[in-house]
Amino acid sequence: MARKRKAYAPFSLTSEAGVAQTPLEGYIDVDQQIYPIVNTGTVNENGKWSGVKSSDDEFFAITKHVNVANAGETLSPDTGDTNFIDMTGFNDLFLAIKPTRTGSYQIRAVMGPDTERFANLSPVNPGVGLRGSYNNASAAIVDLLVDSSETLTADVWNINVIGNRLKNQKLMQLMITNDSGGTSTIEVAFMRIV
C-alpha cells in the first residue's frame, strides 16, 4: 500500500536543492510503503530452514487396538504410517482414549520403536519408560509419565491434557495397559500443542 505524506525535516527544500543558505523548519514529501510480512520460519546457523510450529488442529494417529485382554498392553500410535509421536517444538499433548469397557487403565510414556532413529542414534531401547528432569523442580531423573490407574468411561472419548512433561520428545509411544477386568477395544488419538 503506497501513500505520500509530508514529514518534518531539520532542513528545508532549499537545502535539498543544494543552496548554501539553509533556513530551518522545512517539510519534504516522503513516500511511505507498507508491506505485510508473514514469518514462516528461520534459517539456523547451519543453514537449515526450520518452520514455525503451530498446534495441531485435529487429533491424529488414531489407532484402534481390538480386543485387548485384561492386563494386556498395547502401544500407541501404531497406524502403520505413524508409529511414534514427535513432540519436537511442542509443549503439551492432548491424549484421547475411547475404550469399550469402563474401568481402570494404566498409561505410560515409553521410547518409540527400534525401527526408527532418535535423531541420529539407532537402535533405541523400545518400550522402556521415558525418563528425564522437567520444570527445574528437581535435578533428579524421574519417569516423565506413569499413570498407574486412570478410570476411563466406555464408548466415549476420554480426553486429557499432558502439560509440559513430554515437551520436545522425539521418539515416543504411549503404553496402555487394560486393567478394566475384561477384554476391551481401545482407540487412542493425539493432538500436540505449541
Q: Domain of 114: which CATH number? A: 2.60.120
**Predicted confidence band of residue 2 (pLDDT cuts 50, 70, 90):** low
Answer yes or no: do 113 and 71 share one domain. Answer: yes
Answer yes or no: do 19 and 114 share one domain. Answer: no
Summarize pLDDT for 145-155 with one digit per residue, the tens.
Answer: 999 999 999 99
Contacts of 172 (CB under 8 A, 6+ apart): 84, 85, 86, 87, 109, 110, 111, 112, 130, 166
Contact 161, 43 (CB under 8 A): no
The structure's pTM equals 0.76
Helix (H) or strand (E) holding 13: helix 13-16
Summarize pLDDT for 59-89 with one digit per residue, the tens.
Answer: 999 999 999 999 999 999 998 889 999 999 9
**Would 46 be classed as within a structural domain?**
no
Summarize pLDDT for 11-20 with one digit per residue, the tens.
Answer: 555 555 555 5
Residue 154 CA to its chain's centroid (Å): 28
Answer yes or no: do 72 and 159 share one domain. Answer: yes
Answer yes or no: do 58 and 148 share one domain. Answer: yes
**Is residue 147 packed enough to be buried (19+ CB in 10 Å), middle (13-18) or exposed (0-12)?**
middle
**Residue 26 sits in which domain range?**
2-33
Summarize pLDDT for 111-158 with one digit per residue, the tens.
Answer: 999 999 999 999 999 999 999 887 666 678 889 999 999 999 999 999
Q: For the chain, how big is the Rg over CA atoms in Å?
A: 28
